[in-house]
Amino acid sequence: MSPKTVEFYFDFGSPASYLAWTQLPGLCAQAGAELAYRPMLLGGVFQATGNHSPATIPAKGHYTFVDFDRFARRYGVPLQRNPHFPINTLTLMRGAAGLQMREPARFLPYCDAVFRAIWVEAKNLNEPAAVAGVLQAAGFDPAALLALTQDAEVKERLKAATQEAIDRGVFGAPTFFVGAQMFWGQDRLDFVKEALQTS
Amino acid sequence: MSPKTVEFYFDFGSPASYLAWTQLPGLCAQAGAELAYRPMLLGGVFQATGNHSPATIPAKGHYTFVDFDRFARRYGVPLQRNPHFPINTLTLMRGAAGLQMREPARFLPYCDAVFRAIWVEAKNLNEPAAVAGVLQAAGFDPAALLALTQDAEVKERLKAATQEAIDRGVFGAPTFFVGAQMFWGQDRLDFVKEALQTS
């Protein structure tokens, strides 16, 4: 790994991961840093750590979206509250892990399509038909991608990445590492930037 | 209330409230805004909303203090992890509510003494003797202050302030209001500043 790398642990189901996703490429380019994408299963992280979505506390869940809207305006990026939240992202995250392993050139277009479908177009990706539609529109073969998500090595890869995250202290998404320094939340990107400047 | 006011809901037991406490007077002075202190009982807020301290999730509790340390360095203020955390702040918060009612001129020196004792000197303010020592050193009569915290009107005042916070959507501390806009967390002071500029 390059001495200047941001590791980005994310899950499509997390609106804060989406916001970070929109900002990290520019931030890393400006800092001359590499961006290492680390798809993980947030549900697995929650289960292992005892943490849970802020949405489980009604007052907090409501506020969280007010807060994300403020950041979206600050960043100048689109964001829609998804009425189908929370979305079960197991298959979607397996797709990300599988493409990263087997077709790395298609990893970013896939992530972009999925993030946008959930957090810009507010689609219900709990429905396989909606997922297939999004994939097709983005130039993927839904059947081939579904097969990839059923591949034992791909399943294992996502499981291992999630466990690695937990072992490193991750309890939520997004989480960034600059070397051994961990930063949680899209609202800590300024600290990530500082860490790159001093690393 | 002046058109430019920051309402600051806080509890002494919250390290993030302490950090906000160190920054708000400067922020408000610069913005020409009034700072309205709103002592509340965070334990009551947690009970009513179902929210809880990040410390209840070990990985999150650990990280939270790493994060607070980073902000303390950024702000240039002292912060110590208090080994006696969490501290039962019921009596301490009643003291704040009572002084605000009965001896407003002594409210800020009291808050300063209590915040510093917990988050700079890492004292165990679960122990009445330690509280008495801190109060005495700050020029208060511990017995008189204890009597104030047993005053029915003072108890009621803290209870009402806490309920008002809950009714306004508060689920954690610190929480700020600029008019109807709510901001949660000492890490949102930059948004508070922006809200003052545009209000």
Q: Closest approach of chain B CAs to the CA of A61, in angstroms?
A: 10
**Residue A196 near residue A189 (C-beta atoms within 8 A):** no
**Residue B41 near residue B14 (C-beta atoms within 8 A):** no
- A50 and B CB contact within 8 Å: yes
Which residues of A are catalytic, by number? 14
Over residues A139-156, the pLDDT tens digits come to 999 999 999 999 999 999
- What are the backbone dihedrals phi and psi of residue A74, each rounded to the nearest 5 degrees, phi first? -60, -40
Chain centroid, CA A169 distance in Å: 17
Domains delineated in chain A: 5-198 (3.40.30.10)
Look up residue B77 and give its DSSP letter. Answer: -
Q: Is the pLDDT assigned to residue A174 strictly greater than 70?
A: yes
- Number of Cα atoms under 13 Å in the Cβ half of residue B26: 8
- B46 and A CB contact within 8 Å: no
Which of B62, B67, B169 is facing A63, going by the closest CB pair? B169
Which of B59, B171, B191 is facing A63, going by the closest CB pair? B171
CA geometry: angle A17, A18, A24, nearest 5 deg: 80
Which of A56, A66, A171 is facing B57, going by the closest CB pair? A171
Chain centroid, CA A65 distance in Å: 17
Q: Is the pLDDT assigned to residue A198 strictly greater than 90?
A: no
Over residues B112-146, the pLDDT tens digits come to 999 999 999 999 999 999 999 999 999 999 999 99
Over residues A20-47, the pLDDT tens digits come to 999 999 999 999 999 999 999 999 999 9
Interchain CB distance below 8 Å, B57 and A49: yes
CA–CA dist A187, A189 (Å, integer): 6
Over residues B43-90, the pLDDT tens digits come to 999 999 999 888 889 999 999 999 999 999 999 999 999 999 999 999
For residues A95-115, give the mean pLDDT: 98
Strand order in the sheet with B5-10: B34-39, B5-10, B175-178, B181-184
Q: Is the pLDDT assigned to residue B186 strictly greater than 80?
A: yes
Interchain CB distance below 8 Å, A191 and B70: yes
> So what's the pLDDT on residue B176?
98
- B63 and A CB contact within 8 Å: yes
- Those residues whose C-beta lies under 8 Å from the C-beta of residue B67, and which sit 6 or more positions away, are A184, A188
**Residue A196 near residue A178 (C-beta atoms within 8 A):** yes
Strands A34-39 and A5-10: parallel
> So what's the pLDDT on residue B2?
57
Interchain CB distance below 8 Å, A49 and B60: yes
Interchain CB distance below 8 Å, B67 and A170: no
- Number of Cα atoms under 13 Å in the Cβ half of residue A185: 16
- B180 and A CB contact within 8 Å: no
**Residue B98 near residue B157 (C-beta atoms within 8 A):** yes
Interchain CB distance below 8 Å, A62 and B169: yes
Name beta bridge partners: A170: none
**Residue B173 near residue B39 (C-beta atoms within 8 A):** no
- Those residues whose C-beta lies under 8 Å from the C-beta of residue A118, and which sit 6 or more positions away, are A12, A13, A18, A82, A87, A125
H/E stretch holding B145: helix B142-149
CA–CA dist B124, B145 (Å, integer): 18
Q: What is the mean pLDDT of chain A?
A: 96
CA–CA dist A120, B161 (Å, integer): 39
Q: Closest approach of chain B CAs to the CA of A63, in angstroms?
A: 8
Is B199 a residue of the active site? no
User: How many A/B residue pairs have CB atoms within 8 Å?
Assistant: 53
**Residue B20 near residue B174 (C-beta atoms within 8 A):** yes
CA–CA dist B97, A15 (Å, integer): 38
C-alpha distance from residue A49 to each of A53, A106, A166, B195 (Å)? 12, 32, 8, 36
- A67 and B CB contact within 8 Å: yes
Interchain CB distance below 8 Å, A169 and B49: no
Which three-class secondary structure state does DSSP give residue A188?
A: helix
Structure tokens at B165: 């916070």
How many CB atoms neighbour CB A101 within 10 A? 15
A52: confidence class by pLDDT, cuts 50, 70, 90: confident
Which of A57, A59, A169 is facing B59, going by the closest CB pair? A169
Interchain CB distance below 8 Å, A70 and B171: no
Q: Is the pLDDT assigned to residue B17 strictly greater than 70?
A: yes
Largest Cα–Cα distance in chain A? 47
Q: What is the mean pLDDT of chain B?
A: 96
Over residues A53-91, the pLDDT tens digits come to 888 899 999 999 999 999 999 999 999 999 999 999 999
User: What was the ipTM of the complex prediction?
Assistant: 0.93
Q: What percent of chain A has pLDDT over 90?
A: 92
**Residue B174 near residue B10 (C-beta atoms within 8 A):** yes
How many CB atoms neighbour CB B91 within 10 A? 14
How many CB atoms neighbour CB B128 within 10 A? 11
> So what's the pLDDT on residue A72?
98
> So what's the pLDDT on residue B181?
97
